Amino acid sequence: MRRRLRYLCRRRATQELELILSRFWEDHANELNEQDLVELEALLSLDDMDLLAMCLGQKPFPSSFRAELTRRLLPAHLIKP
């Protein structure tokens, strides 16, 4: 599962999303638990343009996703304390 998720983070429709997700994977892959992996898989099944807008803070993540995972996808300047 980890290999597949790593691949899915690196092969996206836009370079911007690939960069965001690849960096996320490099920074957090080792600390993701089983629940995080399942949730990440669901996130990666979303439309790329919607997911990019969510990662850039232009659109909210669906409330079904836990904030502790989705917050890690946001650039640091968009995270509200």
Residue-wise pLDDT for 7-38, tens only, equals 999 999 999 999 999 999 999 999 999 999 99
pLDDT at 81 over 60: no
What pLDDT does residue 48 have?
96
Give the rounded percent of residues in the chain with a pLDDT score beyond 90: 69
Q: How far apart are CA 34 and CA 43, in angstroms?
A: 14
According to the model, what pLDDT value does residue 77 have? 52
End-to-end distance of the chain based on CA atoms, in angstroms?
Answer: 32
d(CA 10, CA 3): 11
Distance CA 52, CA 26 (A): 18
The mean predicted confidence, pLDDT, of the chain is 89
DSSP one-letter string for 17-80: HHHHHHHHHHHHGGG--HHHHHHHHHHHTS-HHHHHHHHTTSSPPPTTS-HHHHHHHS-GGG--
pTM for the model stands at: 0.84
Over 80: is that where the pLDDT of 75 sits? no
